[in-house]
Structure formats: structure tokens, C-alpha cells
Chains A and B, each alone.
Chain A
Amino acid sequence: MTSKEYRSITQIAGPLVFVEKTEPVGYNELAVVTLPDGSERMGQVLDSSDDIVVIQMFEGTSGIPRTAGARFLGETMKMPVSKDMLGRILSGSGKPLDGGPAIVPEDRLEIGGAAINPWARDNPSEFIQTGISTIDGMNTLVRGQKLPIFSASGLPHNEIALQIARQAKVLGGSEDFAVVFAAMGITNEEAQYFMRDFERTGALKRAVVFLNLADDPAIERIITPKLALTTAEYLAFTLDMHVLVILTDLTNYCEALRQIGAAREEVPGRRGYPGYMYTDLAGIYERAGRIKEKKGSITQIPILSMPGEDITHPIPDLTGYITEGQIVAKRELLRAGIYPPIDVGSSLSRLMNEGIGKGRTREDHKAVSDQCYAAYAEGRDLRGLVAIVGKEALSDRDRNFLEFADEFEKRIVQQGRDEDRTIEGTLDLMWELLGSLDERQLTRIDRKYIEIYHPKYRKKD
């Protein structure tokens, strides 16, 4: 390639390099900055005019002097993809880290990822059994959904994600599946934890791993999820695989986004994050789904840690506005010794209705889960009251609900790290608890289901 090298860098600020007097350069085009020692850094054009070109460096600007040279490659960033990526461990910018050979590409794809035409989308409706009751029973995951885990530092979100990755299956299905794992700014120790589990269970053979660790350049994190999702799209929509994408930790991604915004002196939005963060995150999360007449699918489980455990913080807030629900981990449950500490009240799966019911899970699923929600919420409210007036001041009805809430946490929420419950098992367990309530309180369940599934009537047959 004979692209011209410019020696006209006028300014370097944060992750940005400003170059003057170039020939026309395309927006979003790739750029290479050559350091005096001959080493090269990649970047991308953020702003291009006759006078000045702004490059955002993927690996940061430390060590770049004004005397460095800049070249433009005349194309936007593409990712070499191939079936052989399965089993490989790559850096946050896609370079092999495992000492293996370079990827021999079967195709090169734009990493930006065009939007799926809504007309081409297929409704996600295939139930994924994760073996975790709070998810399967109360916040059902379906193929093609994006369902993040909202967590906080010190909570076992990694364990939960791994348990899902290990146990997830589609009933009666044995199709090709793969896991794409993208780490953004997590610690080496956390990454090892994932890698060991992938190796232990043999999942690594079916996985593509992208690692941008805490000590890797922050700006690289901006492209890591894009590379991971481009790979996932290739596996899903070219190779017909069902792909589970785990992205962790989106909070680090957003911090990097904020850093770029600050370097560009943009008007910041809430808490200093860029005003376009919603659109930017949508560009990641919306790359999940199913396409009509394609066999494969992309299911996303992004993990993010809520700063200060505040669900209204812009990162979880904007995420919740884009994803199809959220699984929320709460410290108070963990403190009570409950694993997984999933708070079903603030959790939600919006595609649940599509994936449950007759022929998918069981006909009574919706009603039972609604009833459990209502009863658990009522019982939890009463806890506050009991703290003030004592249990004695409660009516029998209220006492029943209070006990229900405790039992619910102990028996439905609480389960082992390797406990893989069937959906039948989960639903029966929910019925067992509901059986402790006065039947008249089961206002959300049709009579016909009570007659079939309620423990009182079941014993008869």
C-alpha cells in the first residue's frame, strides 16, 4: 500500500491526535501512527475536514511525539473472521494472545455492524433453560434476547454469568452453539476465573475470547465489543450457530467513552457521560437477535457494575432503556447468604411472554410467576412493618405472606452454583410455596390451573 505518511501532527490530547494538511481522508477511516522507534499504533478518524483530521487512537497516545508520522489506510476498520476463531484467545483489538497462528480470514467484516432491518428480524421466542429458578421461572431468557446483569463490585455476577453459560440449553435442541466472551477492563484475576471455567468445562473449544484487561489501554475497550459482536454475527448468521455473547464490564466501556468525550471537549451529558451514550450503547446491544430464514441467533448477556449500586446511574439506566429487561443482583441478598443474589422485584425479562406457556415451558407458567411476584412483593413490604410493630400486630393473612417471602428467598432464589434445575422443577417448587397461601389469595391464577397444579389437588392423583 502506498498511502502517504504525513508529518503534520499539530496537537495530541488524551486519546486524540490532530493532523493538518492532508489529502481528503474519509470519516471513520483507519489511521496508523508511526513512532520514531518504528512501532505502529492504530486509530480511527473521528472528524475530517480540509484543514484538520482528528484521529482517535485505539491504544492510547502515551509515547507519541509530535514528530510521529500518520498514514491513512483508505478503509474503515474490518475484522478478519473465520470458523477457526473458535477456541482462540485474542486481545481487545483482536490480536492472538494464545501464541497460536494468525487467523486466516474467511471473510473481512466491517466492525461497525449495520443495523438489522427490523423487517428482517424474527421474533425471539425459544425458551433457554438456564437452570436458575429466578431466571427461568420469573425472568425467562429467550434466544436472541439481550438480558444484562446489573451488579456491583463484590457481587458474584461472574459466577452467575458462568453458570448461565454452562447450563444454558434449549429443550429438545442440540444445535451448534458457541460462546463469544469479551472482557473490557476487568482484572487479570477475573479473566483467569472465566478462562479456568471455560477450560474445566471444555467450553473453550466452542468459545472466542477477547481480552482487554484492566492494565490494557482504556481506549482499546471502545472497539473490543464491536470485534466480539462482528465475530458473533459471522458465527450466527453465516455459520448458523447459536451464539451466546458475554460482555463484561460495560461500565469500563462507558468510562472509556466518557474519556474520549472529554478529550474532544464535547458538551457532557448526565454525570459527564457523552450525550450520545444511549445511541452508542444501542449500537452494541441491538446487535442481538434472530433473523428470519437464518438458523443462528445472538443472545447477549452484558454485565455491568452499577457505580454506588445506583440503578439510576446513567450506565445501568441507559442500558435498561435498550435491553430487553435486566437481572439485578443485590447485596442485601448476598449478605443474607443467598446465592444467586438475584432480586426478582427489580429484575425483568420483557421477552418472557414470548418464550413461555404451552408448548414452550408450561401452560401455567405466566400465572404462577405473576402470583409469586405479587405474593413476594407483598411479603417484602410487610417486613418493614414488622420491624416497627412486631409480628403480633399482623393479621393471619399478612403473616402468611411474610412467611412466603422468606421461603421464597430460601427455596426459589437460593440454589447451588452447580444446581441445574429443570423448568418443571422450578414451576413445581413455585406451586409448593403458593400452596402455603390461602387459596383465595391466588387471584392471578385461573381456576383450571389451580385444579391441575396446586399441591392440594395434585396429591389426589
Chain B
Amino acid sequence: MGKEGVIYRVAGPVVTAVGISPRMYDVILVGKEQLMGEVIKIVGDKTVIQVYEDTSGVRPGEKVVDTGQPLVAELGPGLLGSVYDGIQRPLPVLMEKMGDFIERGVTAPGLDHNLKWPFTPVVKQGDKVTEGQIIGTVPERAITHKVMVPPGINGTVDMIKAGEFTVDEIVAVIDGKEVRMMQKWAVRRGRPFAKKTAPDEPLITGQRVCDTLFPLTKGGTAAIPGGFGTGKTVTQQQLAKWSDAEIVVYIGCGERGNEMTEVLTSFPELKDPRSGKPLMNRTVLIANTSNMPVAAREASVYTGMTIAEYFRDMGLNVSLMADSTSRWAEAMREISSRLEEMPGEEGYPAYLSARLSEFYERAGSVVALSGTPGSISVVGAVSPPGGDLSEPVTQNTLRIVRVFWALDTKLRERRHFPAINWLTSYSLYSGQLDGWYKKNVAEDFPEMRNWAIGLLQKEAELQEIVQLVGSDALPDEQKLTLEITRMIREIFLQQNAYHPVDTYSPMSRQYTYLKLINRFASHAAKAVENEVSVEAIANMDLRNRLAKSKFEDNIEDILKDIADTMDKEFEALGGK
């Protein structure tokens, strides 16, 4: 059979063709307009294709062309700062070609093939190189881009040259094979690496509740489930902005157009707190919004992951955000139901769980083929229907990920942000990171954290009693516990993403706050013993200053002043 066939049936994004015999997941060009699609099922002589663009007007009898290639991402200099749709078409290029609205039938390569980049070799003719090895560098925005030997090529460098090249031009010949700065990689396959290692360093996010209570590692996996409006997107954007990864891949998977615009307008203006360069310089954005084709939505997470792996292979720490994995799962469900597959739980295909774990398995901290360590941390938002976490996507995700930041509608209704529920969330990494925190933050950091968690748990029990008898009926000691946990919640856990100072809290400051609240608590306990009323303690000016310090520009000075005057102010309270 030849490379061309004809359409037999069109039903929404699913097109059936006859007369071709492609491989699964090969790209097929469909119809007169050559819309891109991917083979998702083969039955007898019929090939079922999911099409990445709107199929309105496409008819049976029109031509299809088998490209013989799977869906690939273009990898090379020029990725950083880019904004793509789910199949790596740059949105600015699409706009140039078709205007403000996304029409169809337009292709555009992921990388700019005309732009020249300065390439400096780091190996020379005659050197023996292996796949994944770094053979040259290109300065690109926030990083030094490493050009690597494409997977599958090993041997002697026959030729390599310095100079200005496009990503398409040959910069080296290795073992008789031409090597360009650009690699192509099939997005559904993980890129190879030497070995996986255990993640042992936290991904510092500047978000107090995350870093201190429920830390994620570089190379770790986390899920943020929560009903609508609980703060999944804001949390992920905060991580994208402030986490200490070198590269951020942000996938807007079936979410809002305006949210993408917000990232696009704010990121170029925000500065990376470490490098001082615009955040956009280290970011790759994939925006396949809810009203863009579902098949491209399904592909978007793979496109993003492949880009993340490419940077990991250079020896960088990458963090990947997917908002929302539920929309991805729904895209799978939609396509599966058009295929009339036997549905599993709630109509999701039976392979939902397998796909989710395959995806999260591509995260991790590794030794790359080049021998350098690199990592991908993955943070997936989950949007459970009705906020009910017992649904299949949440449940299947929880079986895989190691950090669970549970967002809570009740907290959001009282504007406690981030609305991460401190009683139900967890991090399976926190024990193994204690060593790091002791060494890099403070010896008693784990102790302080456990103190805060313990107290918060006690508060939950006390609250139940309060609901029955009112807080006035409690003994002073317990009233004080409620007062201290109120401080932990309001001063430490609440963090306003929109406040210029509060939005990012360095690790050292997080510790200072915990420590100050802890000191306050011991002083207060003594004062209560000496018959000072809890109300008097709660009304201390010191407490008020501590509460507001997080919004002040000269926050460090204020904290120092509070530390210096605490003893005295408690003394002034008197007591017996």
C-alpha cells in the first residue's frame, strides 16, 4: 500500500481513513487542507486518526498522506521564551500567518530555522564521543545551551566547526552522520539517560507552606488537586516564578486564554530572584487552551515533557507545571469515547492510570548520558469534579506522586491563601530532606517544623470542642494554643501571591518567622503561668508588628527589631 489513502469517516476530531498502512502514532496529513493528525488505532484496513485541528467541512473521499514519522518536537537553541500550542507550533508565528484567531491548516516549525546562533565546539576532530555527550555550547538567554550528540550516535568526530549557524545547518559530522544544533524527538517516548538517582535536594519555591511543611524535591512529583477557584493556577504560577529551577516548562493544558496572557505579560517583567534576569528567559510556555482542539491538548503534556527532558539532559534542573492534568485526562476520555472503546471508571479509558504513571515516571533526578546530573520536577494540577477527591484522576495521581498539596474550598472562602489544607496535605520527601535543611537552613529546622505541625493538629482537636462550648470555656493554656496557631496560620501559612514583598519568602526568612513565633509561644506560656491573660498577649503590639512585618519593605529590619525587643516586651506584660 502506498503513502496516500482516502478518508472514510469524519466524526469530530476523529477521522477514519483507508488505503494507508501506517504505524501507531505516526503523523498523517488529513484532507485537502492537510490537517495534522496522529494514528491512534488501527483496525483491519482502517486507520483511526486524531486530528489536531478543527475538522469542519472535511469530507469522506478526501486524501490523507502518511508521513511515516511520529509526532516530534524540535529541540535546540530558541526554545527558551517560546510560546507554543500543544503540538509545538509557535503562537506568535501562527498569529503572523493567520491573524488574531487560530484558523487551521497552517504549519510552523517549533524552532526558528533562519536565526543564526554562535556555536562553540567543546570537542575536536578525532575525539571519540558517545550519545548525549556535549559537543558544543551556544549562549541562549538565561543559560549556556549545550549542544549534545543526538541519541543513537556514537563514534569519532569527523568534523566540527565553530561559527554562526542556523539550527538546521551542519555543525559536526560524527561517525559519518551529520549533526545539527537541532534534534528531533518523538514526544511520546522518554529521552534516554544514564541512570535515575534519588532526589535529595528540595526545590525551594519561596512559598512558606510548601517549603517548610510539605517540601518537593528537585526531581520530585507533586499534585495540586482542588475545586475551581481554590488556587491551583496561582500556586503553579508562583512555583514557575520563584522556584529555584533553572528552566521552567509551563503547560496550560485545556485552561483559560486569559491566564496564558497573564503569564505572557507578567513573566517578561518579573526578575528571577537569583539571576536577576527576566523570568521569561528561563521559561517555555505551552498554551493549548480549553477551546483549542482536544487532540492537541492531549499531545501538549508530551510536548512539554520532551522539552523538559532535553534541558535535563544538558544537566539542568527543570520544573514542569501542568495545569490541568484533568483536562488532559478528559481529552483522552473524549477521544476514547469517539473510538467507542469500552469505558472504565466514569467514562475514562481503562488506560488512564497507565498514562498518568508513564507521564510522572518521566520526572526524576538523573545522571544524564553526558554524565552530569539533571532533574525534572513535575507539579500537576488536578481539577476534580465537584471538588470531590474520590474521582479517578485524583485517585490515580495520588498513587504516583509523592507530594500532595490539597487545596480546600473552605479555606479559599475565607481567603486563606494559599488554600493548602495543612491537615490533609503531605510530603513523602520531608524525612529524607531533614539533613539538607539542617545543613543549609538551621540545625533545629526540622524540630521547628514538627512543632508547628503538631500544634496545628492540636488546634484542629480544640476547634471541635470550641464548636460545642465556645472558646471562653477553655482553660487558658488551650486558649493560648489557639492564639499561637492563629499566628502560625495568619503570619506563616497565609501568603499573598499578589503582594510584592510577601509573594516570595526566602528559606532563611521562613525559618526566622517560625523561630520567632516559637519564641513568642514559649514566652507566652510562661506569662500565662504567671497569670497574664491570653487576651493581653494577643493584643501585644509585638504580635501585631510581627503579623504585619511580612508586608513591609524593610522586613528584615523589623524582624530583627522584633527579635531584639521580644524579651523586654514580655517582661513589660508583668504578671505575678
B290 to A118, Cβ gap below 8 A?
Answer: no
Q: Note all chain B residues with C-beta closer than 8 A to A366.
A: 498
CA distance A398 to B99 in the complex (A): 58
Contact present for B100 and A291 (CB under 8 Å): yes
Query: Which residue from A122, A312, A373 sits with its C-beta under 8 Å from B386?
Result: A312
Closest CB-CB distance, B408 to chain A, in whole Å? Answer: 13
**Given A294-B100, A317-B385, are A268 and B290 neighbors across the interface (CB < 8 Å)?**
no
Q: Quick one: given A322-B256, A393-B472, are A266 and B94 in contact (CB under 8 Å)? A: no
Which of A90-98, A277-285, A403-411, A424-432 lies on the face that meets chain B?
Answer: A277-285
Do B103 and A114 touch (CB < 8 A)? yes
Interface stretch among B4-12, B151-159, B454-462?
B4-12
What mask results when residues 17 to 47 of chain A are scored 1 for a CB within 8 Å of chain B, else 0?
0000000111111000000000000000011
Q: Is the CB of B258 within 8 A of A48?
A: no
Nearest-neighbour CB distance to chain B for A48, whole angstroms, equals 5
Q: In whole angstroms, what is the CA distance A321 to B289 when docked?
A: 12
Whether, in the assembled complex, A102 has its beta carbon less than 8 Å from a beta carbon of chain B, the answer is no
Q: Verify if B450 is at the interface (C-beta below 8 Å from A).
A: no
Query: Are the C-beta atoms of A27 and B55 separated by less than 8 Å?
Result: yes
Question: Which B residue's beta carbon lies closest to that of A112?
Answer: B56
Judged by a CB distance under 8 angstroms, whether A276 is at the interface is: yes
**B292 partner residues in chain A, CB cutoff 8 A:** 115
B260 touches A118 (CB 8 A): yes
CB closest chain-A residue, reference B388: A312
**Chain A contacts for B337, CB-based, 8 A:** 266-267, 275
B67 at the interface (CB under 8 A from A): no
Flag if B347 contacts A27 (CB, 8 Å).
Answer: no
Q: Tell me whether A25 and B59 are in contact in the complex, defined as CB-CB below 8 angstroms, given that A115-B292, A118-B257, A286-B257 are known contacts.
A: yes
| A370 contacts B by Cβ under 8 Å | yes
A443 touches B548 (CB 8 A): yes
A421 to chain B, nearest CB (A): 22
B385–A279 CB distance below 8 A: no
Residues of A within 8 A of B466 (CB): 385
Q: Which of B493-527 contact A (CB under 8 A)?
A: 496, 498
Docked complex Cα distance between A440 and B547 (Å): 10
B556 at interface, CB cutoff 8 A = no
- Please state if A24 and B62 are interface contacts (CB–CB under 8 Å): yes
Q: Fill in one digit per residue for B42-69: 1 if any A CB lies within 8 Å of its CB, else 0.
A: 0000000000001111111110000000
Answer yes or no: B346 CB below 8 A from chain A CBs: yes
Judged by a CB distance under 8 angstroms, whether B470 is at the interface is yes
Tell me whether A398 and B498 are in contact in the complex, defined as CB-CB below 8 angstroms, given that A28-B56, A76-B56, A345-B414 are known contacts. no
Please indicate the chain A residues that have their CB under 8 angstroms from the CB of B10 in the complex: 26-27, 47-49
Residues 362-397 (chain B) with a chain A CB within 8 angstroms: 383, 385-388
Q: A117 in the interface, Cβ–Cβ < 8 Å?
A: yes
Q: Does A67 contact B (CB under 8 A)?
A: no
Nearest CB of A to B450, in Å: 26
Q: Answer whether residue A10 sits at the interface, using C-beta atoms and an 8 A cutoff.
A: no
Is there a chain A Cβ closer than 8 Å to B490's Cβ?
yes
Name the interface residues of A257-280: CB closer than 8 Å to any CB of B: 266-270, 275-276, 278-279
Tell me the smallest distance from the CB of A329 to a CB of chain B, in Å: 16
Q: Complex formed: what's the CA distance from A325 to B233 in Å?
A: 13
CA distance A332 to B539 in the complex (A): 35
A-B pairs under 8 A by CB, number: 229
Chain B residues within an 8 Å CB radius of A174: none
Report A168 CB to chain B, min CB distance, Å. Answer: 19
B471 in the interface, Cβ–Cβ < 8 Å?
yes
| A278 with B330: CB separation less than 8 A | yes
Closest Cβ of chain B to A302, distance in Å, is 14
Q: How far is the CA of A76 from the CA of B55 in the complex (A)?
A: 11
CB contacts under 8 Å to B, within A282-322, are 282-283, 286-287, 289, 291-292, 294, 312-314, 317-318, 320-322
Report A350-368 CB contacts with B as 1/0, cut-off 8 Å: 1101100000000000100
**Segment of B179-187, B238-246, B261-269, B561-569 engaged in the interface with chain A:** B261-269
Give complex CA distance A325, B330 in Å.
22
Contacting pair B83 A116 (CB below 8 A): no
- Chain B residues numbered 235-284 whose CB sits less than 8 Å from any CB in chain A: 252, 254, 256-258, 260-262, 264-265
1/0 contact trace for A107-122 toward B, CB 8 Å? Answer: 0001011111111111
Contacts of B412 in A (CB 8 A): 348
Within 464-492 of B, Cβ neighbours of A (below 8 Å) are at 466-473, 490
Pick the contact of B330: A279, A312, A385 (CB < 8 A).
Answer: A279
Check B261 against A283 for contact (C-beta < 8 Å): no
Q: Does A28 contact B57, Cβ atoms closer than 8 Å?
A: yes
Residues on B with C-beta less than 8 A from A47 are: 9-12
CA of A289 to CA of B547 in the docked complex: distance in angstroms?
Answer: 38
A440 adjacent to B539 (CB under 8 Å): yes
Q: How far is the CA of A432 from the CA of B471 in the complex (A)?
A: 28
**Complex contact A395–B472 (CB within 8 A):** yes
Task: Using CB atoms and an 8 Å cutoff, list the residues of chain A in contact with chain B.
Answer: 24-29, 46-50, 75-76, 110, 112-124, 144-145, 237, 266-270, 275-276, 278-279, 282-283, 286-287, 289, 291-292, 294, 312-314, 317-318, 320-322, 324-326, 345-346, 348, 350-351, 353-354, 366, 370, 373-374, 377-378, 384-385, 388-389, 393-395, 397-398, 438, 440, 443, 446-447
* Cross-chain pairs A/B with CB under 8 angstroms, 12 sampled: A26-B58, A49-B16, A112-B56, A117-B98, A119-B83, A275-B333, A286-B291, A312-B388, A348-B412, A378-B414, A389-B468, A393-B473
**B residues bordering A, Cβ < 8 Å?**
8-12, 16, 54-62, 83, 91-92, 94-95, 98-103, 227-229, 252, 254, 256-258, 260-262, 264-265, 287, 289-292, 294, 327, 330, 333-334, 337, 343, 346-347, 383, 385-388, 412-415, 466-473, 490, 496, 498, 535, 538-539, 544, 547-548, 551
Q: Which 3 A-B pairs have the closest CB atoms?
A: A312-B386, A49-B9, A282-B290
Other A-B contacts than A348-B412, A385-B466, A443-B544, 11 sampled, CB-CB below 8 A, are: A25-B59, A29-B56, A115-B101, A115-B291, A117-B94, A144-B258, A279-B330, A320-B228, A322-B290, A393-B472, A446-B548
